[in-house]
């Protein structure tokens, strides 16, 4: 009947608070796993040492012809066979096609960024470039009495802007005076400047990648030409155009 009586479950003691800084406290089950692993490695090393001691120096098997040791490490052949010249040329042709497609994609993205940056104008850039808005009038009297703020229907301090030039109705409709509009517009101008700098960095990276793709494509074309019949030797003329000189076989 002693097996039918409920017994107390014995548990291992928990991690003491005083020694938590020293790491986890190893339990008995952890010690058993570590001990079994150590003994298994010890037995495996003993077997290997006995094999080395009892090795026959005249032993030979055919796998020795396709394997070797490099700095004490066994290196075996995977059984891969080298491809023919025609197969390699075909693969290089496919690589060249991929490079041309990737180069075209980068070129289109670069042109799109250049167009976006061309239309993203700033007030400082407009003054540096010398951008002007020409207005034609009928008489000299109209030219002398011409007021640009009335013509553009905007505030006098906002006439010189090449972009984001609100009308008087917009200023009155928003219920803000000139100083508040200028402060808000300065924040908008700062955001536009940061966006433009970000696009310039992206444009620079696109241009660099496009040049790298073109360089790799030229190198790949030269390799394919050298693999052709007669062994072509490619170069570059002074004008920048590539030419191919093929050597004749004797």
For residue range 30-70, what is the model confidence (pLDDT) as tens digits? 999 999 999 999 999 999 999 989 988 888 888 777 778 88
* Extents of the domains making up the chain: 86-215
- The per-residue pLDDT for 78 is 72
Look at residues 112, 94, 115, 108 and name the one whose alpha carbon lies nearest to residue 217. Answer: 94
- Calculate mean pLDDT across residues 167-171: 72
Q: To the nearest 10°, the Cα dihedral for 112, 118, 120, 122?
A: 160
Pairing of strands 242-246, 232-236: antiparallel
pTM of this structure = 0.39
Give the residue with greater pLDDT, 208 vs 91.
208
Place of tokens 């339990």: 27
- The per-residue pLDDT for 16 is 83
Q: Kindly report which listed range (5-19, 57-71, 154-168, 214-228) carries the lowest average pLDDT score.
A: 154-168
Distance CA 153, CA 23 (A): 76
- The per-residue pLDDT for 93 is 83
Confidence check: pLDDT of 248 > 70:
no
Give the whole-number percent of the chain exceeding pLDDT 70: 74
The strand pairing partners of 245, in sequence order, are 233
Distance CA 237, CA 96 (A): 22
**Mean pLDDT of all residues belonging to the chain:** 76
Cβ atoms of 75 and 65 closer than 8 Å = no
Secondary structure (3-state) at 246: strand
Look at residues 119, 40, 95 and name the one whose alpha carbon lies nearest to residue 219. Answer: 95
- Calculate mean pLDDT across residues 123-131: 49
Residue 213: Cβ-neighbour burial (10 angstroms; 0-12, 13-18, 19+): buried
For residue range 174-196, what is the model confidence (pLDDT) as tens digits? 555 555 555 455 555 677 778 88
């Amino acid at each position: 009947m002693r097996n039918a009586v409920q017994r107390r479950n014995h548990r291992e003691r928990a991690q003491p608070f005083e020694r938590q800084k020293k790491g986890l406290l190893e339990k008995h089950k952890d010690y058993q796993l570590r001990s079994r692993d150590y003994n298994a490695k010890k037995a495996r090393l003993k077997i290997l040492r006995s094999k080395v001691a009892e090795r026959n120096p005249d032993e030979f098997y055919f796998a020795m012809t396709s394997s070797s040791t490099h700095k004490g490490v066994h290196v075996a052949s995977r059984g891969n066979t080298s491809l023919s010249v025609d197969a390699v040329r075909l693969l290089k042709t496919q690589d060249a096609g991929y490079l041309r497609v990737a180069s075209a994609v980068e070129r289109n993205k670069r042109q799109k960024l250049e167009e976006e940056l061309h239309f993203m104008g700033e007030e400082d850039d407009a003054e540096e470039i010398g951008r002007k808005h020409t207005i034609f009038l009928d008489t000299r009297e109209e030219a002398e009495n011409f007021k640009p703020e009335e013509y553009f229907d905007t505030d006098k301090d906002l006439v010189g802007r090449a972009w984001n030039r609100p009308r008087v109705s917009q200023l009155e409709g928003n219920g803000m005076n000139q100083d508040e509009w200028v402060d808000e517009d300065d924040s908008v101008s700062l955001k536009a400047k940061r966006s433009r700098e970000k696009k310039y960095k992206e444009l620079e990276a696109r241009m660099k990648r496009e040049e790298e793709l073109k360089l790799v494509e030229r190198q790949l074309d030269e390799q394919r030409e050298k693999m052709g019949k007669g062994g072509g030797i490619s170069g570059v003329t002074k004008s920048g155009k590539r030419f191919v000189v093929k050597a004749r076989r004797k």
